[in-house]
Chains A and B, each alone.
Chain A
Amino acid sequence: MRNNFHLELRHISKKFGETAAVDDISFDIPRGSFATLLGPSGCGKTTTLRMIAGFYDPDKGDIILGGRRINDLPAHRRGTAMVFQDYALFPHMTVRKNVGYGLTLAHLSKAEVDRRVNETLEFVGLGTLGDRWPNQLSGGQQQRVAVARALVLRPEILLLDEPLSNLDAKLRVQLRWELRALQQQLQMTFVYVTHDQDEALSLSDWIAVMNAGRVEQAGAPWDIYYHPRTAFLADFVGAVNLVPATVRDLRGAQAVVSFGERSLTVNVPAGLGVAMGAQVHLCVRPEAIGLAARGASSDGAAFPGTVARKAFLGDLMRYWVTVDGREWMVDQPDPGASTPFDGDVLLEIRPERVHVIAEQAAP
């Protein structure tokens, strides 16, 4: 009985000239999941996707799809349909011809091609646009054609290379939900590449954050966001306060850490393996910090500080509060509900919301 992983990468490496684009990465993607490769540009995420598609050959390692090693399969026999960043719609073919192209190659009967093309166009909400040319469509419609063209083949796995990055902000968010709904309806394995962490968090069942050709951390969005293993991850996914600190005392799963004149008792993640006197980073999300007027009572640690700047972002107010010469980012939801803070305030940190990262090169 083979395991339930749909796509497995084993020790994949790829060099372009002297530069290692992908450096010994391995991961497993469960069947039917929405898997995302997330990272800054040049991190190797697109190279990885293109190796899965067969456009690049890995220098080392195995790519296993559905239990079968596909390294030596030419790209057009892999069953890995791809949606491209620029959609790559064939300009000399109508929408219908574009969507039907792969089926025609598979030598399906004309009736069968027509039936499946119509069905798929219907499915992505383009039922009436079959006879249009790609240049007559809006960006969002082109994007849907690109998805339909890949889906119609019922591929083993669907690869998506930043498919929403050419759309304007509002449409991008709308199509995000459509893609997610589509994937859940079809129970198909999607491998999605993006540099947009919001997109990755909101779409994915599983995220691999890549940096400099390596996978920094892979797992559920929740884990990536709240329990990043490195300072790079904490900083790349969402806004964060990263505070260098020193371990002063260890009490089982808890540690006393100090930074400047202050100290906190925080939980230490299992397996972190910090010793007394070790240097760590405290990772505190801005929305996990509270603000109060001076003199108010507080149930966590409360540090006196001063509001240095604030920015109104609509759904929240972001404050930069100076405590002992260090600036903290603090987000307060629903700014309209109360008068904004100013001047002297109390910074409230609940120790259970502080995540500890072992010291590495800070970002």
Chain B
Amino acid sequence: MRSLQREPGLLLALLAVIVLVGIFIVYPQVRVIATPGTGYIDFLTGGSWVKATLNSLQVMALSTTSAVILGFVFAYAMVYTPMPWKPFFRLVGILPLLSPPFVVAAAYVILFGPRGLITYGIFGQTISVFGLSGIWGVQTIAFFPFAYQLIADVLSRSDARLEQAARNLGAGPWHVFRTVTLPLSRPGLGAAILTTAIYVLEDFGNPALIGGTFTVLPVLAYGQLSGFGDVQGATAISTLLLALALALYFAKIRLDGGRSFVTVSGRASSMPRPPVPAALTWSCFVACLLLSGLILLVYGSLLVSALTLNFPTNFTFTTKHFEYITSGTNGTALQNTLVFGLAAAAFSAAFAILAGWLVQRVAFRGARVLDLLLIMPAAIPGLFFGIGYATAFNEPWLDWLDRGVLIIIAMIFWNIPVGYQAAVAGLRQIDKSMDEAATSLGASSLRGFRDILLPMLGGSLRVGFVTTFVRAVTTLSVVIFLFTPASTVATIRIYQLVNDLNFGAATAFTVADIGMAIAALSVIAVLARGRVALGAARA
């Protein structure tokens, strides 16, 4: 406390962080929750929410279960077996993290829709693929790679020495897994399952595109606002969605202490895992091949569709879709995506590092509250965040504020938890004696942070930057209430083009969007000489 009184610069920095968090994280959420007012009564008695809530919970249970099972198989194979082709599988597993989750729905439509390549083209069927089973299948494919990343991280953290010790004491591979690995990883696995459940619950794009009459909460909220202009209804539904997400999130924090931080980088274990039976290795290999095949089918068909005249009926090569998406409004959208993403990533990473340092290293009352507020956006559904900004900052006196800037600010603060958790993880690696050494040599706290800690936190800064960029260019739900024609972005255009059944342009947009994410990752990887990690966890 006293160090704050002695160092005005430090006090100022802290106040700035608190004010920004107050305005851009707390205030919009409070506005959404407060908006319905007495409307909550109408909303609750109206009853439209009951069906959507049940639908949401049903699809969450189904999709989470299947995504976690597939993710677990993939993760187990990667961590425990010596199967071949691991670098290939690792790459395929990262691909879905670099793309908007709802492109799986787009691929699903062009493959299995009424005029789909497989349903109509091969089997001549025009069956209805929309509804619960469609969402379930699509979300399973869309989110099992996330589950894989989360579970692989938990499994790879289990201590190989303990497993070797158990084997040394005479336990077989299965026995070791059941009695040593699993009990030790249980909290981490539980947290991974809950995190996957949050992704599924918050998913807006997939159910919106292929849900049909099967309405889930985010889709209902969007429909209320964009279809009926019903602000009270939309905010009430969003608040309900937030309550569900927060419940899952706090359960997750209870399990892993809020410290889950996942990085997609090659973790070299100093000790090899005990061997597993060859039959298991090969079964895992086949399973991974099948799953990778599914992912490649999704992204392959997107690529083919983007480069052909009319997928799947006319496979003539063309670049006209790419010409279309790089011109006019579409060109602006692509440019906006890049600019917004870069700006949000830079500010978010920088702000998160400063905030992380203040919370971790400067003693002040309320540090725990600030800590909670900074990780909170991880639990806030993107749609809720977007509605929050639309409600809070859609004021006449704020008309001068450019909508693009507002979108950037929304992306900055929605992604704060990524950079913040990376900063906290980085700071935990740096002994406090580093700060104190700088201080004892005459550096003020802020000066020591700038000269000593910041250069040592390069890894955290990169994780924050890259992950925020990827999330910013792939989010649909955060921007869907905020964009204007001048400030539209790729994900919005993809969503609109799919709804217009212009799949050629939609898929070309998707390819360009994913290409941007891959390019950003590659540039950073080259700049950092390969030392790059991507925070896979959205929470």
Q: Is the CB of A88 within 8 A of B447?
A: no
CA distance A21 to B192 in the complex (A): 41
Q: Is the CB of B456 within 8 A of A92?
A: yes
CB contacts under 8 Å to A, within B274-302, are none
The stretch among B45-53, B211-219, B409-417, B428-436 that forms the contact with chain A is: B428-436
| Residue A237, interface by CB 8 Å | no
Q: Is the CB of A88 within 8 A of B442?
A: no
| Residue A90, interface by CB 8 Å | yes
Interface string of A102-119 (1 = CB under 8 A from B): 100110000000000000
Q: How far is the CB of A112 from chain B (nearest CB, A)?
A: 15
Q: Is the CB of B441 within 8 A of A149?
A: yes
Q: Is the CB of B447 within 8 A of A105?
A: yes
Which residue from A84, A89, A91, A153 sits with its C-beta under 8 Å from B442? A153
| Residue B17, interface by CB 8 Å | no
Chain B residue contacts of A141, Cβ below 8 A: none
CB contacts under 8 Å to B, within A124-175, are 149-150, 153, 159
Q: Is the CB of A105 within 8 A of B441?
A: yes
CA distance A77 to B440 in the complex (A): 8
Which residue from A55, A85, A105 sits with its C-beta under 8 Å from B443? A105
| Residue B263, interface by CB 8 Å | no
| Residue B326, interface by CB 8 Å | no
Q: Is the CB of B439 within 8 A of A88?
A: no
CB contacts under 8 Å to A, within B435-462, are 436-445, 447-448, 451-452, 455-456
Q: Is the CB of A86 within 8 A of B7?
A: no
Q: Is the CB of A76 within 8 A of B452?
A: no
Q: Is the CB of A150 within 8 A of B440?
A: yes
Q: Is the CB of A85 within 8 A of B433?
A: yes
| Residue B2, interface by CB 8 Å | yes
Which residue from A57, A92, A101 sits with its C-beta under 8 Å from B441? A101
Q: How far is the CB of A57 from chain B (nearest CB, A)?
A: 5
Q: Is the CB of B6 within 8 A of A88?
A: no
Chain B residue contacts of A81, Cβ below 8 A: 440-441
Q: Is the CB of B436 within 8 A of A55?
A: yes
Q: Is the CB of B444 within 8 A of A76?
A: yes
Chain A residue contacts of B7, Cβ below 8 A: 74
Q: Looking at A55, A81, A85, which has the most chain B CB atoms within 10 Å of its CB?
A: A55
Which residue from A74, A91, A153 sits with its C-beta under 8 Å from B6? A74
Chain B interface helix/strand/loop/mixed = helix
Interface string of A19-58 (1 = CB under 8 A from B): 0000000000000000000000000000000000111010
| Residue B522, interface by CB 8 Å | no
Chain B residue contacts of A102, Cβ below 8 A: 441-443
CA distance A268 to B147 in the complex (A): 77
Q: Looking at B436, B441, B456, which has the most chain A CB atoms within 10 Å of its CB?
A: B441
Residue of A nearest to B445 (CB): A76
Q: Is the CB of A84 within 8 A of B437?
A: yes
Q: Is the CB of B441 within 8 A of A84?
A: no
Residue of A nearest to B2 (CB): A57
Q: Looking at A80, A82, A106, A159, which has the most chain B CB atoms within 10 Å of its CB?
A: A82
CA distance A159 to B7 in the complex (A): 23
Residue of A nearest to B447 (CB): A105
Q: How far is the CB of A96 from chain B (nearest CB, A)?
A: 14
Q: Is the CB of B436 within 8 A of A82?
A: yes
CA distance A159 to B437 in the complex (A): 11
| Residue A302, interface by CB 8 Å | no
| Residue A316, interface by CB 8 Å | no
Chain A residue contacts of B313, Cβ below 8 A: none
CA distance A76 to B443 in the complex (A): 6
Chain B residue contacts of A150, Cβ below 8 A: 440-441
| Residue B3, interface by CB 8 Å | yes
A53 with B444, Cβ < 8 A, contacts A74-B3, A91-B456, A101-B451 known: no
Residue of A nearest to B6 (CB): A74
Which residue from B2, B6, B442 sits with its C-beta under 8 Å from A105? B442
| Residue A75, interface by CB 8 Å | yes
CA distance A153 to B456 in the complex (A): 24
Interface string of B420-432 (1 = CB under 8 A from A): 0000000000010
Chain A residue contacts of B431, Cβ below 8 A: 86, 88
Chain B residue contacts of A105, Cβ below 8 A: 441-443, 447
Residue of B nearest to A53 (CB): B440
Residue of A nearest to B448 (CB): A76
CA distance A53 to B437 in the complex (A): 10
Chain A residue contacts of B2, Cβ below 8 A: 57
Interface string of B1-14 (1 = CB under 8 A from A): 01100110000000
| Residue A72, interface by CB 8 Å | yes
Q: Is the CB of A82 within 8 A of B440?
A: yes
CB contacts under 8 Å to A, within B478-514, are none
CA distance A55 to B443 in the complex (A): 13
CA distance A55 to B447 in the complex (A): 16
Residue of B nearest to A100 (CB): B441
Residue of A nearest to B452 (CB): A90
Which residue from A53, A72, A92 sits with its C-beta under 8 Å from B436? A53
Q: Is the CB of B443 within 8 A of A88?
A: no
Q: Looking at A57, A75, A149, which has the most chain B CB atoms within 10 Å of its CB?
A: A75
CA distance A161 to B81 in the complex (A): 47
CA distance A201 to B439 in the complex (A): 30
Q: How far is the CB of B525 from chain A (nearest CB, A)?
A: 20
Q: Is the CB of B442 within 8 A of A82?
A: no
Q: Is the CB of A76 within 8 A of B451?
A: no
CA distance A81 to B439 in the complex (A): 9
Q: Is the CB of B434 within 8 A of A75?
A: no
Which residue from B440, B451, B452, B455 sits with its C-beta under 8 Å from A75? B440
Chain B residue contacts of A92, Cβ below 8 A: 455-456
A86 with B433, Cβ < 8 A, contacts A92-B456, A101-B451, A105-B447 known: yes
Residue of B nearest to A71 (CB): B2
CA distance A150 to B440 in the complex (A): 8
Which residue from A75, A89, A153 sits with its C-beta under 8 Å from B439? A75
Can you give 29 contacting A-B residue pairs, CB < 8 Å?
A: A53-B436, A53-B440, A54-B439, A55-B436, A55-B439, A74-B3, A74-B6, A75-B436, A76-B440, A76-B443, A76-B447, A81-B441, A82-B440, A84-B437, A85-B433, A86-B431, A88-B431, A88-B436, A90-B438, A91-B456, A92-B456, A101-B441, A101-B443, A105-B441, A105-B442, A105-B443, A105-B447, A149-B441, A153-B442
**Residues in A lying within 8 Å of B, measured CB to CB:** 53-55, 57, 72-77, 80-82, 84-86, 88-92, 101-102, 105-106, 149-150, 153, 159
**Residues in B lying within 8 Å of A, measured CB to CB:** 2-3, 6-7, 431, 433-434, 436-445, 447-448, 451-452, 455-456
Give 9 nearest A-B pairs by CB, closest first: A102-B441, A88-B437, A74-B6, A88-B433, A82-B440, A105-B442, A84-B433, A75-B439, A92-B455
A53-B440, A74-B444, A77-B442 known; 15 new pairs, CB 8 Å cut-off, are: A55-B439, A72-B6, A76-B441, A81-B440, A86-B431, A88-B431, A90-B452, A101-B441, A102-B441, A105-B442, A149-B441, A150-B441, A153-B441, A153-B442, A159-B440
